Amino acid sequence: MPEKPGGLRAQSGDTVLMVGTTKGAFLLRSGPDREGWEELEGPHFPGEEVYSLALDQRGGRRRLWAAPGNPFFGCTLRHSDDLGDSWSEEDAHSVRFPEESGLSMKRIWQIWPGREVDPDHLYLGVEPACVFESRDGGASWAPLVGFMNHEHRPKWEPGNGGLCLHTLIPHPRDSARMLVAFSTGGVYGTEDGGASWAPRNKGVRAEFLPDKHPEFGQCVHKIDHHPDRPETLFLQNHWGLYRSDDWGASWNDIANGVPSDFGFALSVHPHRPETVYIVPLESDEYRCTPEARLRVYRTADGGGSWHALTEGLPQEDAWETVLRDALCTDSRDPAGVYFGTRSGKLWASRDDGDSWSLAQEGLPPVVCVKAAVLS
């Protein structure tokens, strides 16, 4: 096994990239200018897949969360308060379904620190599709029973990645409201703090079903929004690119000028709610960048038009795949935009996506990229 990596020697104002791969997690650090990535530490949890990472800086913390796992012994939830120099014990956080549920934990797909006003509240999105929450800073976890026991559950079908709940969107101003997305089930929302859930898929296509517009069963790949305009959401579907202006009650097609409306990843600009990034892929059978060109597409008008961002990215012989959590932005302006590929390349832009450089290559297949500016 590789030598145990250390923690990042980072300070306030630095930018940190957290990269989850199928063989461990890697941490990178850059100064505020993001000119270069001065430090790389990893792999943490060598040999284990890390599909979810998060940095929780609420309440004066600087707590890094990771969910390593493997097909043999399942997944665990770990945290580090020193940017990876040491991690909590493997059994420090128990995330389990109750035995009577009939469900067994396969993977933690999303770790989501909750609202700023409630710094001890965190959520997990897991497979099989469910939401877990902690109200004590992550010390203990429990499933949201209303979701776990949803009457639709017997009809939810796992996608190629499993029945994964990969997107959690707590309403930033209303603690009773939250949206989730999972494959395949689609978008569900709660208006009562998680006690009850209803599908919110009107207008979203299910190309792989005889009924192309069912109440639920869509294979939604990712949703994002800007917290200053929470009701406006953008959705990358398994075939389809959508926008909602009513908190997911209805969705409208915005695939205007993209080479493919299939893809996984989607991320909203940290300061401009109508600016969105995607990486289109060619078809669900192929799942590689169209024409072997690696292009990020950006809209600045909420999906009215999309433009290819290519400067610095290979425009030939690039058969790449970017997965649903492998694209993100940091919180600066102009924004840092980052994505990782299944071929182990990590690309970075520090000018809103106008130009790109290779931050790292030779990584194991990248499944998750998260960015944070240290407070």
Partner 1 sequence: MTVTIVLPAQLRDLVRDRGSASGEADTVRVEPAESTVGGALRTLGERHPAVLDRIVTEQFQVRPHVNLFVGRENIRWNEGLDTPVDDGAEVTILPAVSGG
- Note whether 91 binds partner 1 by CB under 8 A: yes
- Are 121 and 135 in contact by the 8 Å Cβ rule? The answer is yes
In the complex, the smallest distance separating the C-beta of residue 87 from partner 1, rounded to whole angstroms, is 12
- Quote the distance between the C-alpha of residue 38 and its chain's center: 25
In whole angstroms, give the CA distance from residue 349 to residue 34. Answer: 9
Q: At 29, give phi and psi (nearest 5°).
A: -130, 140
Print the binding letters for residues 24-63 with partner 1: x by CB under 8 A, - otherwise: ----------------------------------------
Q: Which is nearer to partner 1, 46 or 227 (CB)?
A: 46
Q: Which of 70, 232, 250, 310 binds partner 1 (CB under 8 A)?
A: 70
Q: Which is nearer to partner 1, 32 or 98 (CB)?
A: 98
Q: Which two tokens stand for residue 265?
A: 């990843």
- Are 251 and 237 in contact by the 8 Å Cβ rule? The answer is no
Instruction: Say how many residues touch partner 1, by CB under 8 A.
Output: 17
Select from 54-62, 88-96, 232-240, 257-265 the region that touches partner 1 (CB under 8 A).
88-96
In whole angstroms, give the CA distance from residue 108 to residue 77. Answer: 8
Q: Which is nearer to partner 1, 17 or 367 (CB)?
A: 367
Amino acid at 86: S
| Backbone region of residue 134 per phi and psi (left: phi > 0; alpha: psi in -120 to 50; beta: other values) | beta
Q: Which of 12, 60, 72, 151 binds partner 1 (CB under 8 A)?
A: 72
- Note whether 96 binds partner 1 by CB under 8 A: yes
Q: Which two tokens stand for residue 133?
A: 């929450």
Amino acid at 26: F
In the complex, the smallest distance separating the C-beta of residue 161 from partner 1, rounded to whole angstroms, is 16
Signed CA dihedral, 259, 261, 265, 266: sign only: positive
- Note whether 74 binds partner 1 by CB under 8 A: yes
In whole angstroms, give the CA distance from residue 261 to residue 69. Answer: 31
**Residue list 298-337, contact with partner 1 (CB under 8 A):** none
Select from 96-104, 167-175, 260-268, 283-291 the region that touches partner 1 (CB under 8 A).
96-104
- Note whether 94 binds partner 1 by CB under 8 A: yes
In the complex, the smallest distance separating the C-beta of residue 57 from partner 1, rounded to whole angstroms, is 28
In whole angstroms, give the CA distance from residue 87 to residue 187. Answer: 34
- Note whether 98 binds partner 1 by CB under 8 A: yes
**Positions that interact with partner 1 (CB under 8 A):** 70-74, 90-91, 94, 96-99, 101-105
